[in-house]
A and B are shown apart, each in its own frame.
Chain A
Amino acid sequence: MVTQVFERELRKGSAGLLILSLIERRPRHGYEISRLIEDRSDGALKFNVASFYPLLYRLEKRGFIEGHWVEKAGQRRRRYYRLTAQGRKTLKAQRSSWLDFVNAINRITGAEHA
């Protein structure tokens, strides 16, 4: 039980960073982002629709990402998200503090194991 709660909080805290990272290079639609998170984490990280999209909309509302409908020939239209300038700044800051955090954790947990 304690592990479950910890994982949920960890996921929640890091989800924003994951999404921002995934659209750093190019805009992606919601399903693509959620698939990439699942794939790249080898299934360790997985969001259901009911929590993923509210997260996406919250990032959009804060002005970190920007969604817009794109129509491509022969395809149904999709809502693509791209990073805003503010999102880019936030990503940079979050990334470095995340690294600091992981390093710190590693140092502590690694020392025990060493």
Chain B
Amino acid sequence: MPDWKNHVRAAVAHLNLDPGREESIVEELAEHLDDQYVELVRSGVSEAAAYRKVLEDLNKRKLGVELRPLFQSEPLAIAPGAGHQRGFLTGLGKDLRLGVRLLRLNPAFAIVAILSLALGIGANTAIFELIDTVVLRTLPVPAPERLAELRLIHDGRIGSSVARQHEVSSAMWEQLQRQQRSFSSVAAWSSERFNLGNGGEARYADGLWVSDGFFDTLQVRPTLGRLFSTSDDYKGCNTQGIAISYAFWQGELGGREDVLGRSLSLNGRSFPIIGVTSRIFSGLEVGRKFDVALPLCMEPVMHAEDAWTNGSTTWWLAVIGRLRPEFTFERASAQLASVSPGIFAATLPMEYDEVARRNYLRFRFRALPAATGVSDLRNDYEYPLWLLLAISAVVLLIACANMANLLLARASVRQHEMALRMAIGASRPRLVRQLLVESLLLATAGAVLGGVLAHALCKALIAAIGTGQDRVFLSLSVDWRLLAFTAGLAALTCLVFGVAPAFHAANTEPGAVVKTSARGLTGGRQRLLFRRGLIVSQMAFSLVLVITALFFVRTFRNLVSVDTGFRQDHILVADFDLSPLKLPVQSRLEYKRDLMAQVRTTPGVVSAAETAIVPLSGNGWNDFIDIPGTDLQRKLANFSEVSSDYFRTLGVPMLAGRDFNGSDTLKSPGVAIVNLAFANAYLGGGDSLGKAFGVRQDGGKPDKPYRVIGVVGNTKYGNLREPFGPIVFVAGSQDAATDLDSTVMIRSNEDLASLIPSLRMVAAKNNPRIVLNFSVLRTSIRRGLRRESLMAALSGAYGALAAVLSIVGLYGILSYTVTRRTSEIGIRMALGASRNRILGMIVQDALTMLGVGVALGTVLAIAAGRAVQTILFGLKPTDPLSLGLAITGMTVVALAASLIPALRAAAVQPIQTLREE
């Protein structure tokens, strides 16, 4: 029988018909010709003559001419995929439209896919946005890469620091300015908060002390007026003009043009405003802004007797410089190292003892890149942020694995579609492209939604990092790095989850597939193994994240519940700043005593005491002590100066001896109360009462003698992680040089906020110019744990997300397996397998995957735990509780997830499935 199809196809080929339509016409006409031929042959015509006759009747040319007007304007229904003929990019728009249509047809799939990708991408982008802002972004000044921080390199801390940067003393700064040769300009700066109000509760502005060349070094220009020059900053200056930041000008002063020359009150003094800095510059410190800048020379005016400028051991200035064009950081460091001995010899504090002098003379200066500014925030958060980025990357990987699994399942379902497309002429590359375009659509939608989520999450994170008075100022702006990161993530996820399914789906034999029934099409053992592999790795990785999250949650819990040795609840900390009162030294003690008496009699106050150091506030004071008659010399101990009732207020047990009282005066011999750790370490344990020790004094003066009158329980001093250390409490009533600040710890059983108005009245009654500041002890201590709480919350959320994603994945593959094996299960049941056996078979399948995943995940989690051991507290990376909880939790949830498909498998009706077959 002649093949008429080829003849017909040749006749219609040039019409470029829709492939489906073309195939239909070819078939129909070929059948007609067939019938005609058979009839001719039957009627006695020879085969050859019949063949000629039929071909003649077909009249190819005429057929083409007649059909052309009929099909000329008919649109193509599906992408033909004739990629090899028209270039790979042809019809991309059509692929996109088809992709959108397919996703709209299957909204459940689209929503699950886009949402899981959005969560994965959003989690990553949020963390990256923070890293970008805190770690990577350079200062908004010209050529920031030429800026250097001139840092003091030393091995032990001596001297007292009063600013966050604590780099150099005024004397060092003067020498450094004179002797450095590597920088075209250098500048010193420090930060301090100033009270804008006059009495009452304090309202603070963030201030910068800056040397005259500060803004020139950074090349920051004024928006209004002028910035500092040498005429503003000179030794012995009096009240000078100040500069304000653009944000402060806009926010606090309403952006008024006539602001120049107006006065601003800082700590009760008035200063004229001479200029406003440029809009984009908000200071050198990432995470902090500045409101006002003051010339360095005014510091002694502001602080009077306590001036930092005059203290040879007060390190309060940070130094920044702009490299000369011919200098590198190494060359600058070498030059600084060569002048360092001279600088330190010239500034050696006379009061240092022998050991301290030797240390001091070993100090060196070094030039470090400062393009990204300086930041405590960065020091604290850089490592946790990178860690969180790694965690969120794993979440994204799990989301991608889920997507790959979803798409693989979809690919199996769509094999018919693919086969059909191929049968009507689509090339494999075109099919792969179509599938990749669909994945790209998902990834893009996920990335856009993720970006929005990320921005919101990032804002929330910043709010979580800084709380209350300690606010963090980070300007979140979308820059090229962030956009590139998000776009890169979208492309990467698309590649990771899209490529394998696309190739699987396109790797279809058209003929074989069209003939087979849908359920028989599963893509074989290899593909299923691949999908199981994905599930196992998902299980493993999510277990790692869950365990890591438990590590951080338990670390946070351990820190919160750690025994501090003192009561944290119901304690209000009130700071009375008496400096505006300008009290003479000799009347201060009495004034403070009266104030304390009034505070104690305020309604609602159970007890109150003054202290120099609020425990766990980050403030501290240490000194060297000598124990006479022993070899315990120059031992370091922490100190605090407290009033009577301090231990009662904080609930610290008095183990022996007595509290400070009225008999401890300026005239009576020095007395001290020590904690148990001190008594054990330096006083030989046992009965320490009456024992003596001396505190080293500066300038070679003899030790200041103290006698122990009481021993109290151990308390935490600097931070929660450190073990109990030796602490000495001295009596505030014996401090002749007491300062103009009184910090009072108040215990009350009432709502602490309700105490504040009465305390404000007490202060106002004494003197309306007293500046007040309140905080709640427990809140302040919690604030010190915000890094840990952030890690716990975020890793917990990410761990939960990862677990949910992988459980959904497990459920998906089990459901898919059950559907695929329905007929097999039917046959098994027909052959006598019980429902329980079928149930067991599916659950066992789940357990096998879970088992391998858990084993792998545990090993990985222990390795991860070792990597983060430094920030864990109170547990080891092999912590059995965390591991056990995570594994049990995962197992229970995985079993629950496998039960639904297992029950469905057990409910299979053998007769029905066999009939379907």
List residues of chain A with CB under 8 Å of any chain B CB. Answer: 29-31, 34, 48-51, 53-54, 57-58, 61, 69, 76, 78-79
Alpha-carbon distance between A54 and B58 when the two chains are bound, in angstroms? 12
CB distance from B698 to the nearest CB of A (A): 105
Judge whether B62 and A51 touch: CB under 8 Å: yes
- A54 and B62 CA atoms in complex are apart in Å by 10
B62–A61 CB distance below 8 A: no
Interface flags for B498-533 (1: CB within 8 Å of A; 0: not) read 000000000000000000000000000000000000
- Apart from A31-B31, A49-B29, 19 more pairs, CB < 8 Å: A30-B28, A31-B32, A48-B57, A49-B57, A49-B58, A49-B59, A50-B57, A50-B58, A50-B60, A50-B62, A53-B25, A53-B29, A53-B67, A54-B63, A57-B25, A57-B70, A76-B31, A79-B24, A79-B28
B905 close to chain A: CB less than 8 A: no
Distance between A28 CB and nearest chain B CB, rounded to angstroms: 12
Q: How far is the CA of A19 from the CA of B36 in the complex (A)?
A: 19
B-chain residues with CB within 8 Å of residue A29 when the two chains form the complex: 31
Return B39 CB to nearest CB of chain A, in Å. Answer: 8
**Which B522-554 residues sit within 8 Å CB-CB of chain A?**
none
Shortest B24–chain A CB gap in Å is: 7
CA distance A49 to B60 in the complex (A): 9
Chain A residue with the shortest CB-CB distance to B67: A54
Q: Is the CB of B59 within 8 A of A57?
A: no
Q: In the bound complex, do residue A53 and residue B57 qualify as a contact, i.e. CB atoms below 8 Å apart?
A: no
Contacts of A31 in B (CB 8 A): 31-32, 35-36
Q: Is B572 an interface residue (CB 8 A)?
A: no
Q: Does B354 contact A (CB under 8 A)?
A: no
Answer yes or no: B66 CB below 8 A from chain A CBs.
yes
Closest B residue to A57 by beta carbon equals B70
Quick one: given A54-B66, A58-B70, are A48 and B31 in contact (CB under 8 Å)? Answer: no
- Of all A-B residue pairs in the complex, the 5 with the closest CB atoms, nearest first, are A54-B66, A50-B62, A50-B59, A50-B63, A48-B57
Q: Does B395 sit within 8 A of A, measured CB to CB? A: no
Please give the distance in Å from B410's CB to the nearest CB on chain A: 29
A102, B36: Cα distance in complex, Å: 32
Q: In the complex, what's the smallest C-beta–C-beta distance from B449 to chain A, in angstroms?
A: 44
**CB-CB nearest in chain B for A30:** B32
Q: What are the residues of chain B within 8 A of A76 when measuring CB–CB?
A: 31
Chain A interface SS verdict (over half): helix
> Whole-angstrom distance from the CB of B802 to the nearest CB of chain A?
51
Q: Note all chain A residues with C-beta closer than 8 A to B31.
A: 29, 31, 76, 78
One digit per residue, 1 when the CB lies within 8 angstroms of any chain A CB and 0 when it does not, for chain B 20-47 equals 0000110111011101100000000000
- State how many angstroms separate the Cβ of A49 from the closest Cβ of chain B: 5
Q: List 14 A-B contacts (CB under 8 A).
A: A48-B57, A48-B58, A49-B36, A49-B63, A50-B63, A50-B66, A51-B62, A51-B66, A53-B29, A53-B67, A54-B63, A54-B66, A54-B67, A54-B70
- Contacts A30-B28, A61-B70, A76-B31: A53 and B63 contacting too (C-beta < 8 A)? yes
Q: Given A57-B70, A58-B70, A49–B28 Cβ distance below 8 Å? A: no
Measured CA separation A26–B67 after assembly (Å): 26
CB distance from A59 to the nearest CB of B (A): 11
Q: Taking the nearest CB of chain B, how far is it from the CB of A46, in angstroms?
A: 10
Closest residue of B by beta carbon distance from A76: B31
| Nearest-CB residue, chain A, relative to B63 | A50
Once A48-B59, A79-B24 are accepted as A-B contacts, the answer to whether A57 and B67 lie under 8 Å apart by CB is yes
A58 to B24, CA, bound (A): 15
Contacts of B32 in A (CB 8 A): 30-31, 34, 49, 53
Q: What is the CA–CA distance of A76 and B4 in the complex, to the nearest angstrom?
A: 15
B25 neighbours in A (Cβ, 8 Å): 53, 57
Q: How far is the CA of A64 from the CA of B25 in the complex (A)?
A: 19
Contacts of B27 in A (CB 8 A): 79
Smallest beta-carbon distance B310→chain A, Å: 102
CB distance from B754 to the nearest CB of A (A): 85
Q: Nearest B residue to A53 by beta-carbon distance?
A: B29
Residue of B nearest to A61 (CB): B70
Residues of A within 8 Å of B63, CB to CB, are 49-50, 53-54
Shortest distance between the CB of A73 and any CB in chain B (Å): 17
Residues of B near A69 (CB, < 8 A) are 24
What is the bound-complex CA distance between A58 and B33, given in angstroms?
Answer: 20
Residues of A contacting B66 with CB < 8 Å?
50-51, 54
Given the complex of chains A and B, what is the CA–CA distance between A34 and B57 in angstroms? 13
Tell me the bound Cα distance from A76 to B34 in angstroms. Answer: 12
Enumerate chain A residues within 8 angstroms of B36, measured Cβ to Cβ: 31, 49
Nearest-neighbour CB distance to chain B for A69, whole angstroms, equals 8
Among A29, A34, A79, the most chain B Cβ lie within 10 Å of the Cβ of A79
Which residues does chain A contribute within 8 Å of B62, judged by CB atoms? Answer: 50-51
Question: In whole Å, how far is A42's beta carbon from the nearest beta carbon of chain B?
Answer: 16
CB distance from A43 to the nearest CB of B (A): 13
Output the least CB separation between B311 and chain A (Å).
Answer: 99
Q: How far apart sit A31 and B35, CA to CA, in the bound complex (Å)?
A: 7
Chain A proximity of B77: nearest CB distance (Å) = 16
Distance of B14 from chain A, by nearest CB (Å): 15
Q: Output the least CB separation between A66 and chain B (Å).
A: 14
Complex CA–CA separation, A57 to B22 (angstroms): 13
Determine how close the nearest CB of chain A comes to the CB of B16; give it in whole angstroms: 16
Residues of B within 8 A of A51 (CB): 62, 66
For A61, list chain B residues within 8 Å (CB). 70
State A84–B57 Cα separation when bound (angstroms).
29
Least Cβ distance of B338 to chain A in Å?
A: 95
Give the residue name and chain of the B residue nearest to A69 (CB). B24
Question: Please, which residues of chain B bring their CB within 8 A of the CB of A34?
Answer: 32
**Cα distance, A51 to B70, chains bound together (Å):** 13
Residues B54-94 near A (CB distance < 8 A): 57-60, 62-63, 66-67, 70
Can you name the residue of chain A whose Cβ is closest to the Cβ of B59? A50
A8 to chain B, nearest CB (A): 13
A57 cross-chain contacts in B, Cβ below 8 A: 25, 67, 70
- Chain B 891-910, CB-CB to A under 8 Å as 1, else 0, gives 00000000000000000000
A7 to B: closest C-beta gap in Å: 17
